Structure 1
């Protein structure tokens, strides 16, 4: 694992999963990795699958690599590797987005008459117009906004690649309104700051809270199981572009994906064109008795 070329995002994922495993062992009061048995691995997989049901395709290979490393250092036996389930195939899920009308409702819930409202409105508008991830919004720097060229240029945290987006007029106006009239007067390179001291940059969790609270006020995505947060707004961007028959390669560039395969999951939101994929029932006639 040490010799493999991994992106920063992948290395961080490996670290989080390994840390989760050690936290689990600590919870079970183990003092040494040599005490771990195959049944403990099985129980951990069940434990983490409940927390991250869509992430096992990442978790299981990481566990194998981790146990392989431990085995090479004579810290664990090979039986731990075999205790990791083999089925780590990534499942395709139907993504959950919001409609254009719903995004307008979200924006209308924000009171822009105070400093907090100006900040939250700029964040929501930026998310709905550009599809930026919450980590990239929280890490957005003043220098990333190129006012002269009318672009936003940033290095994405997830894949460490450069993303260049147009600075749309309404987004630019909202950000300028916040910077000039509401942003705390402190020496910070980041655009979006906490509204009370210490005036550090907001984090991704704050972006999630801002969007989920707006959804609650607007009555959007309140049914059980419906996703909330900034990522739903990212899905909405992809959905609207698909409705306009925008090529996947273009959508992939806008969303900052390194591979077009990452964008294909959004095809499930294109209901209009999915209808043309439906198969007819001609030639599959059945007798009444078969339907009973």
Structure 2
């Protein structure tokens, strides 16, 4: 395998860790305590190059320090985790932030356990795994709430009890009650469809819902061009990164679908991409313009490592496998945004940018939804950022309307 400096490995892993939405204190703990200790140990051993022998020896010493009560169990676990992250990234080219999940403390009766398991089976094919876990957690809290109210099944629950549950849970969900409402709505849709209860909660969910939506950030045309201008396309890695960002900004594909793009997904004769979206499981066909094709072709022909991997985009160092689903795209966009002096480091903003640009060009919403692979147009609306110039054109002209100063105060 290709040798890589330990410090470079540490920086790569830290970049990926930032994409997992870890707290700033956690990142600092690993950067200045765990990884710095590993790097210092390697220097004492007279090497700057990463090797598993170095990390294994380091961990053995820390285990001895733990047994001699020179370090705490908590600190040892952080050091062990840091070693595991380095070894995993070097070996697989991917990084997964694994958490040892504790079993839920929520205990419900046997019937409710059956309901929650059947409900989970019902939604698991419709939603992303993290969304399923979130909905399951909220549903368990609801079942615990109504069981504490004296219910052993779902036949006699009332709209008032659903309302009381929402009031009870709301203090813990400042800014995320819409997600809780979505969970409750999904659960009651399941209950209604399976004739477990005929209670209609739509009205109360609508009343509880807040109408305002966040305006999510996107890039301007100039910002995307500035990002692309930072990339050194004379290198293999640069050709790959350029193709990824260009493809994202000109098709609106999600990062996970770009990372998982296969060579066989590209039809060069028809100038199009055909994929099954990982998030939704639905097929999507998108046209490729000549410049997007050129960027991908240039990488495949002149930058892509010689490998049997079916994926288009490959790690630039051995092992030559596909990029990690989440962390790689974040690391790529962050690097070039920083060079361009752009504070928005979110790869998903490229997707929102594509939707916003089409809106500005007068493309109808149904067409935008189709390009973004949305089954429901409501899903598309949150991707369309407001354009200040277009809003200015909507402002009323007050010329010719007489006003009095005191009325404007």
Q: Do the structures match in fold with TM over 0.5?
A: yes
2:332 alignment partner in structure 1: 210
Contact 1:98 1:232 in 2 (8 A): yes
1:270 alignment partner in structure 2: 387
TM alignment of 1:243-254, pairs within 5 A: 243-254=360-371
- Following superposition, the deviation at residue 228 of structure 1 comes to 2.4
C-alpha distance in 2 between matches for 1:97 and 1:121: 18
Q: TM-score, normalised by structure 2?
A: 0.53
- Following superposition, the deviation at residue 147 of structure 1 comes to 1.0
1:15 lines up with 2:132 in the alignment: yes
Question: Cα RMSD (Å) of the superposition?
Answer: 3.8
C-alpha distance in 1 between matches for 2:406 and 2:321: 70
Partner of 2:273, secondary structure, is strand
C-alpha distance in 1 between matches for 2:280 and 2:302: 33
2:286 alignment partner in structure 1: 165
Q: Relative contact order (C-alpha < 8 Å, sep 6+): which is higher?
A: 1
1:186 lines up with 2:303 in the alignment: no
Contact 1:9 1:157 in 2 (8 A): no
2:213 alignment partner in structure 1: 92
C-alpha change, 1:5 and 1:98, in structure 2 (3 Å) is same
Structure index of larger Rg = 2
Contact 1:243 1:272 in 2 (8 A): no
2:270 alignment partner in structure 1: 149
- Following superposition, the deviation at residue 6 of structure 1 comes to 3.4
1:241 lines up with 2:358 in the alignment: yes
Q: TM-score, normalised by structure 1?
A: 0.72
C-alpha distance in 2 between matches for 1:120 and 1:43: 47
Residues 147-181 of structure 1 deviation map (CA, whole Å, 9 limit, x = unaligned): 11110011111211111111221111111221222
C-alpha distance in 2 between matches for 1:228 and 1:284: 46
Residues 186-229 of structure 1 deviation map (CA, whole Å, 9 limit, x = unaligned): 21121112222232211222112211221111112x2xxxx422
**Is there any run of 5+ residues in structure 2 with no aligned partner, and where?**
1-115, 139-143, 150-165, 191-206
C-alpha change, 1:152 and 1:63, in structure 2 (3 Å) is same
- Following superposition, the deviation at residue 248 of structure 1 comes to 0.9
2:67 alignment partner in structure 1: none
